[in-house]
Amino acid sequence: GENVEQHPSTLSVQEGDSAVIKCTYSDSASNYFPWYKQELGKRPQLIIDIRSNVGEKKDQRIAVTLNKTAKHFSLHITETQPEDSAVYFCAASKERGDTGRRALTFGSGTRLQVQP
């Protein structure tokens, strides 16, 4: 089955700096890659997602890049703010021929701390 590895496990940056979180996946058939933000005690919230037919997607301070050949994708957060502090999860899924998209396989998470 799919395996998603995520690093670093913790990341501390100064407010205003950029943060980059990287994930690799094992199944070359995976074609959908969402990123979720989870604050302590709260539900995972989708922050950005990308399909494999797109190499990059940007939404204000957040961007995701995908390298299908290397099977890795990254989350970039620019001009970080203290409210960006949370755990970030990457995930991957693929289409099943008979029943459509499979469930998400998640990475182990990155705890981002933005120091004011």
Partner 1 sequence: DTGVSQDPRHKITKRGQNVTFRCDPISEHNRLYWYRQTLGQGPEFLTYFQNEAQLEKSRLLSDRFSAERPKGSFSTLEIQRTEQGDSAMYLCASSFTRGLETQYFGPGTRLLVL
The contact set with partner 1 (CB under 8 A) reads: 4, 6, 32, 34, 36, 42-46, 49, 51, 89, 91, 99-109
Pairing of the two strands 45-51 and 32-38: antiparallel
Q: Report the run of H or E that residue 39 belongs to, with start and end.
A: none
Q: Which is nearer to partner 1, 43 or 60 (CB)?
A: 43
Contact 110, 91 (CB under 8 A): no
CB of 41 to partner 1, least distance (A): 9
Q: 80 or 89: whose CB is closer to partner 1?
A: 89
Nearer to partner 1, 17 or 39 (CB): 39
Instruction: Give the N- to C-terminal CA distance of the chain in Å, as an integer.
Output: 41
Would you say 17 or 93 has its CB closer to partner 1?
A: 93
| Smallest distance, partner 1 to C-beta of residue 45, A | 7
Report in angstroms how near the CB of residue 15 gets to partner 1 at its nearest. 25
As measured in angstroms, the least distance from the Cβ of 112 to partner 1 is 14
Residue in this structure with the two tokens 């990308």, named with its chain if needed: 50
Mention every residue, 6+ apart, whose C-beta is less than 8 A from residue 59. 47, 48
Which phi and psi (to 5°) does residue 4 adopt? -120, 125
